[in-house]
Structure 1
Amino acid sequence: MNEPLFTFDAGSATHVGKVRVRNEDSHLVRSDAGLWAVADGMGGHEAGNVASELVVAALDTVSSSKSAAEFLEQVQSRVLLANRQILELRRQRGGIVIGSTVTVLLISENHYACLWAGDSRLYLASRGAIRQVSRDHTEIEELLASGGVTIDEARDWPTNVITRAVGVRDNPELEIVSGAFEACDIFVLCSDGLTRHVTDDEILECVSTRDAQASSTALVHLALERGGLDNVTVIVVRTTNQTPKQERTIPAAILQAPPAEVWE
């Protein structure tokens, strides 16, 4: 891949929460490769923990790539490998329900890609605003999108069933979005143990005033203070220029290319 245009201040934190007896979240910080991931396992008899670990272990084998497209292809292949491994684990354990959400952030040059299945999220904080990059793969999100329920009804919805995950079908339905980012933008990856307690605006305030590790730790503590009803995992990635702006030259082809083309 080309010489990186950015350096990364990355931090992470995870906690079992105040209700669960086991932390079924797993996460990966590979700033050297421009790769970060959060996986949230599901399943009884310790299977959820194993499922999320299989996803992260597979992603951790991603190596240096010659292009963004090859980078993305590697990540997709690792998720498919983890999917096969989880399906085999299900077979060995008599067909019990096992699976894992996953949200992956990839950075190449001044573009990012997000690949995910489930309701673990990626946020992008930029210029004093925050937006959710990923879209929750949940029953309630689909009902909202179709107009089946209102926003007010969704707040009191009794269950939030995940509609996509790794390890539940032969071919996992992965969604991918991509875009450009700027120096000083901040990415936040998290499991739903954070977002069930902490609002988007609170996430923005936290990451805007602290470094990456302090932000990750503070967000986990905030979720715990408000009940800690689930495992909670947070990764914060702050981007900075690799070289001073006036000395930095970005190839014209990158500046002119639509974000999606970088990953094709």
Structure 2
Amino acid sequence: MSTVALPIESFGVSHKGCVRDHNEDNYLVEPRTGLWVVADGMGGHEAGEVASASIVDHLATIGIASSAPDLRARFEDRLSRANAEIRNISRSRGITIGSTFAALLAMDGRFAGLWAGDSRIYLVRGGAISQISKDHTEVQELLDRGMISAEEALTWPRRNVITHAVGVNDELEIDFQQGELMPGDVFVLSTDGLTAHVSDTEIEAAVRSEPPQAACEKLLETVLARGGTDNVTIVLVRVGDGRDGSLHADRSKAEGQGR
């Protein structure tokens, strides 16, 4: 039976923001299977929502894995199915649609963060925050090549151009980072509607001082107070210390699927 090595508490929120008339984000909170996902659809009215929903719907069928490698294999299989479905929808509509995603897998005391696009995964550990994902964007590629500075990147006119996403190409391109789960770890998965308005330092402060539900709600309130120019989705995953002796204590809460 699939378990994570330490107790997990998690929560997710999603909102259309203050400017958009609908929400193209979706998310999934599945602590029993060791899976958490955010997805940010692209492609115009309704189409982006279809793409992000396809990712979430397919990943929701993963079920209970027998091992960490099995969980990873199930994840990649479902994501490939979503990619194929989105490609078929694109062809039938004569348009290109797709979705970014960021996902956390946790099992047997280890984690894997997987992503495509500019949805992000942060890890707060030991009082410091680090971004364990790396944006698949044109501006990030320019930064990596040393063609622009970090200051120039903040105002780059094409800073939101995505280079990888689910459903855009027949061959799915994703990146991942993996490591050991530590007591007190907090993972933050978010679409770019959060990071457009809230700094890494503010994210760290919110998740350090509040449990997942309160921290999610506080971050969402901050985004909306600052204008909420995009859809915003936030999923927080906090790792306990296991002192109750259980391998997995499910104290997860979620507010639907952010549809």
Counterpart of 2:229 in structure 1 is: 229
* Same amino acid, percent of matched pairs: 45
Question: Structure 1: which 5+ residue stretches go unaligned?
Answer: 250-264
Give the structure-1-normalised TM-score. 0.90
Bigger relative contact order, structure 1 or 2 (CA pairs below 8 A, ≥6 apart): 2
For 2:77, give the aligned amino acid.
S
Report the CA distance between 1:243 and its aligned residue.
Answer: 3.8
CA distance in 1, matches of 2:246, 2:90: 50
Structural mapping, 1:90-105, within 5 Å: 90-94=90-94, 96-105=95-104
Q: Distance between the aligned counterparts of 2:29 and 2:105, measured in 1?
A: 11
The residue that corresponds to 2:18 in the other structure is 18
| Partner Cα distance (1:18, 1:26) in 2 | 17
Letter in 2 for 1:143: L
Instruction: Tell me how far apart the structure 2 counterparts of residues 171 and 93 of structure 1 sit (CA, whole Å).
Output: 20
Q: Return the letter of the residue paired with 1:141.
A: Q
1:252 match: none
Change (3 A) 1:248 1:10: closer
What are the within-5 Å matches in structure 2 for residues 49-198 of structure 1? Answer: 49-94=49-94, 96-159=95-158, 160-198=160-198
Give distance in 2, aligned partners of 1:3 and 1:239. Answer: 13
Q: In the TM superposition, what is the alpha-carbon distance from 1:3 to its structure 2 partner?
A: 5.0
Residue type at the aligned position of 2:101: V
Deviation at 1:2, TM superposition (A): 6.0
Change (3 A) 1:113 1:138: same
Alpha-carbon distance in 1 for matches of 2:4, 2:194: 31
- The superposition leaves residues 179-232 of structure 1 with CA deviations (integer Å, 9 ceiling, x where unpaired) of 112111101000000001000010000001111111111111111111100000
- How much does 1:115 deviate? 1.1
Deviations along 1:75-121, whole A, 9 cap, x unmatched?
01111000000001011102x12000011100012210011100000
Q: Which letter does structure 2 place at the counterpart of 1:117?
A: A
Query: What's the CA shift for 1:41?
Result: 0.0
Secondary structure of 1:238's counterpart equals strand
Q: Which has the larger radius of gyration?
A: 1
Q: Equivalent residues in 2 for 1:242-261 (5 A)?
A: 242-244=242-244
Gaps of 5+ in 2: 248-259
Structure 2 CA distance for aligned equivalents of residues 215 and 77 of structure 1: 32
After TM superposition, the runs of 4+ consecutive aligned structure 1 residues lying more than 4 A away are none
Alignment partners' CA distance in 2, 1:8 and 1:147: 40
CA contact (8 A) 1:99 1:166 kept: yes
Using the alignment, how far apart are the partners of 1:234 and 1:62 within structure 2?
Answer: 21
Letter in 1 for 2:157: P
Please report the TM-score for the alignment, with normalisation by the length of structure 2. Answer: 0.92
**Equivalents in 1 of 2:242, 2:86: separation in Å?**
39
- SS, match of residue 240 in structure 2: strand
Q: Secondary structure at the match of 1:137?
A: coil
Residues 125-156 of structure 1 show CA distances to partners (whole Å, capped at 9, x for unaligned) of 01100100100000000000000111111111
Write out aligned runs for 1:25-44 (5 A): 25-44=25-44
Q: Distance in 1 between matches of 2:100 and 2:58?
A: 14
Distance 1:64 1:149, change over 3 A: same
Contact 1:44 1:97 in 2 (8 A): no
Q: Structure 1 residues 3, 36: closer, same or farther in 2, change over 3 A?
A: closer
Quote how far apart the aligned CAs of 1:248 are: 8.5
